[in-house]
Amino acid sequence: MDFSITQDQKMMQDSLSRTLADSVPLDRVRRYAGDPADAGGDIWAAIADFGLAGVVTPDAHGGLGMSLLDAALAAQALGRAVTPGPFLGGVTAAIALNEAGTAEQQAKWSPRIATGETTAGLAISEPVAGARDGAGVGAAGAKLTGKALFVTDALSADLFVVADRTGNLHLVAGDAAGLGRAPMASIDQTRRLGELTFHETPAEPLGGPQTLARLRDAAWVLLAADTLGACEVMIEKAVDYAKERRQFGRVIGSFQAVKHLCAEMAAELEPCRALVWYAAYAFDEARDESALTAAHAKAHTSEIGRFIARTATEVHGGMGITDLLGLHFWFKRVGLNRQLLGGPERVRRIAAQIQGLAA
């Protein structure tokens, strides 16, 4: 019995990787990261043209109607290319609409998300990762007040999925009255986070705590898949460098210490691939396991990602921290993935709560 991904899924991932290599080379990523005014429209257009904007949107609304596993494989490829773009928000918004949206909400928003015409941001950090600096959103009378931090694509998204303090979800249009946006500093300049403020901002209800838990699980899986792709590239770059860099008349890859570093990275990452893929599969096919496997995928891959990011940089020596190689883009991508929507400690506590092992 074959427990691997299908041949069609492999072909999709390979095709996407080739598309990203042409559309989002490292020089394009570097320009995006260095220019806050660069909206990356050409990058998102290439992703949307490939069909990724509607990967989980049902075909009845113009999407591909695929599974979270397919979205995770795409996220893995996006992580390999450190691709900017509102992919995370778009997939989670589509899932929220699929599972809890009214017929009117689905008819209005799902086709636009599927084509990439409408981009979405995700504002669920407070109930998932814990509130900071007095953040939190209150809801009363179909209007929101308060603020949400660490919102994905806060400055550019056309639509937001917002969680309030009670765990209920709301849809907020990007041009809604009383909605304020401000940037937040982040180590990862390939994905821009921000702060949203709400002043009696009109909102539409979109499911309750159960839907929030589903979005949390999906987002954890996608972040883990992104980290998996980034780590794959960092290992490949470390191995390639070890084969070329010479020291004391020999390539450094011939030294046992360097061999061990590369082998340890590969050995640590390999189990993550199956863990992430199964967590994505369980989201659709084994819902009773979904929350726990998503938590394990997020927490474990975050820990392994930090180890690989550090070790791959060490293999490069002083060159590893220069902008010339661009290794820092993957390093920072892994770092943000680790903390976004909960660091490993927070996620493991939630996993313990899911199993009844913690209050």
Residue 84 — φ and ψ, nearest 5°?
-70, 160
Residue 122 — φ and ψ, nearest 5°?
-115, 120
What is the CATH T-level fold of the domain 210-354, as seen in this structure?
Butyryl-CoA Dehydrogenase, subunit A; domain 3 (1.20.140)
Closest Cα to residue 212, out of 121, 292, 99? 99
- Is the pLDDT confidence value at 169 over 50? yes
The pLDDT score that the predictor gives to residue 253 is 73
Residue linked to tokens 């570097």: 30
Please give the average per-residue pLDDT across 159-176, as a whole number: 97
Residue linked to tokens 């695929």: 66
59 with 106: CB under 8 angstroms? no
As given in the structure block, the two tokens for residue 201 are 């901002």
Mean pLDDT of the chain: 94
Residue 67 — φ and ψ, nearest 5°?
-95, 170
Closest Cα to residue 139, out of 201, 215, 213, 214? 201
pLDDT > 90: what percent of the chain?
Answer: 88
Amino acid identity of residue 357, one-letter, is L
Which one is the CATH code of 120-207: 3.30.1490.20, 2.50.20.10, 2.40.110.10, 3.40.50.300? Answer: 2.40.110.10
The pLDDT score that the predictor gives to residue 17 is 95
β-bridge pairing 179-183 and 193-202 = antiparallel
Please give the average per-residue pLDDT across 60-77, as a whole number: 96
Question: Is 1.10.540.10 the CATH number for 7-115?
Answer: yes
pLDDT per position as a tens digit, 187-221: 999 999 999 999 999 999 999 999 999 999 999 99
246 CB burial (10 A radius; 0-12, 13-18, 19+)? exposed
pLDDT per position as a tens digit, 310-331: 999 999 987 788 888 899 999 9
Task: Check if 7-115 and 210-354 are the same fold.
Answer: no
- Report how far residue 322's alpha carbon sits from residue 100's, in angstroms, rounded to the nearest whole number: 46
95 with 122: CB under 8 angstroms? no
Residue 285's pLDDT band, with cuts at 50, 70 and 90, is very high
Residue linked to tokens 């927490």: 299
Closest Cα to residue 106, out of 58, 141, 71? 58
Q: For the whole model, what pTM was predicted?
A: 0.95
Show me where the domains of the chain are located: 7-115, 120-207, 210-354
Please give the average per-residue pLDDT across 162-191, as a whole number: 96
* First-to-final CA distance of the chain: 40
DSSP letter assigned to residue 155: T
Q: How far is CA 329 from the centre of its chain?
A: 15
Residue 216 CB contacts under 8 Å (≥ 6 apart), including other chains: 124, 128, 294, 341
The pLDDT score that the predictor gives to residue 1 is 44
For 143, the enclosing helix (H) or strand (E) is strand 143-152
Amino acid identity of residue 222, one-letter, is L
Q: How far is CA 181 from CA 177, 196, 315, in A?
A: 12, 5, 41
- Report how far residue 137's alpha carbon sits from residue 132's, in angstroms, rounded to the nearest whole number: 12
Task: Give the lowest-confidence range in 55-64, 238-247, 301-310.
Answer: 238-247
As given in the structure block, the two tokens for residue 221 are 């899986």
Residue 151's pLDDT band, with cuts at 50, 70 and 90, is very high
Task: Give the lowest-confidence range in 94-108, 136-150, 235-249.
Answer: 235-249
Cα dihedral 65/67/70/71 (nearest 10): 90
